[in-house]
Amino acid sequence: MSARTQRATPSPDDDAFFDVPATVLCAFCGQSDCPGCSTEPEQASGVVAIVPWERPGASLWSRLWATATATTQGAEAFFSALPDGPVSPALRFAVLAELLAVTSMLLFVTPLGVLALPNLAVDVATNPTTRATALRWLAAGVPTVAIWMVVAHAAHGIALDAGARGAGARSQRRRAARFGLYACGWDLMTGPLGAVVLLLTKGAGPAMDLLGLSMSAPGRAAIALLSGVYGLRTAEATRARRAGTVVAVVTAILSGVAVIVIAAW
What's the pLDDT tens digit per position in 53-92? 998 888 999 999 999 999 998 899 999 999 999 999 999 9
Q: How confident is the model at residue 49 (pLDDT cuts 50, 70, 90)?
A: low
Chain centre distance of CA 123: 38
Residue 30 has pLDDT above 90, yes or no: no
DSSP state at residue 38: -
- If one compares 32 and 234, the residue with the highest pLDDT of the two is 234
Chain centre distance of CA 75: 8
- What was the pLDDT predicted at 31? 52
Residue 28 has pLDDT above 90, yes or no: no
Residue 227 has pLDDT above 90, yes or no: yes
Q: Give DSSP secondary structure letters for 171-198.
A: P-HHHHHHHHHHTTHHHHHHSHHHHHHH
Number of CB atoms found within 10 A of residue 7's CB = 7
- What was the pLDDT predicted at 19? 41
Residue 215 has pLDDT above 80, yes or no: yes
- What was the pLDDT predicted at 57? 83
Mark out the alpha helices in the chain (DSSP H runs).
Answer: 12-18, 60-72, 75-80, 87-116, 118-126, 128-166, 173-182, 185-190, 192-201, 204-208, 210-224, 234-264
Question: 194-200, long-range: CB within 8 Å, 24+ apart, which pairs?
Answer: 194/68, 194/72, 196/104, 197/65
Residue 2 has pLDDT above 60, yes or no: no
Residue 264 has pLDDT above 70, yes or no: no
- What was the pLDDT predicted at 91? 97
Residue 247 has pLDDT above 90, yes or no: no
Beta bridge partners of 41: 47
Residue 45 has pLDDT above 50, yes or no: no
Q: Select from 262, 160, 261 the least CA-distant residue to 219.
A: 160
Distance, CA of 55 to CA of 111 (rounded, Å): 38
Q: Which residues neighbour 156 within 8 Å (Cβ) at sequence distance 6 or greater?
A: 180, 183, 218, 244, 245, 248, 251
Q: Select from 224, 85, 230 the least CA-distant residue to 171.
A: 230
What is the pTM for the complete model shown?
A: 0.78
- 85, amino acid identity: G
For all residues of the chain together, what is the average pLDDT? 81
Helix (H) or strand (E) holding 42: strand 39-43
- What was the pLDDT predicted at 225? 95
Task: Using a pLDDT cut of 70, give the percent of the chain over it.
Answer: 80
Distance, CA of 201 to CA of 184 (rounded, Å): 22
Q: How confident is the model at residue 34 (pLDDT cuts 50, 70, 90)?
A: low
- If one compares 23 and 205, the residue with the highest pLDDT of the two is 205
Q: pLDDT, tens digit, for every residue of 88-115?
A: 999 999 999 999 999 999 999 999 988 9
Q: How confident is the model at residue 29 (pLDDT cuts 50, 70, 90)?
A: very low
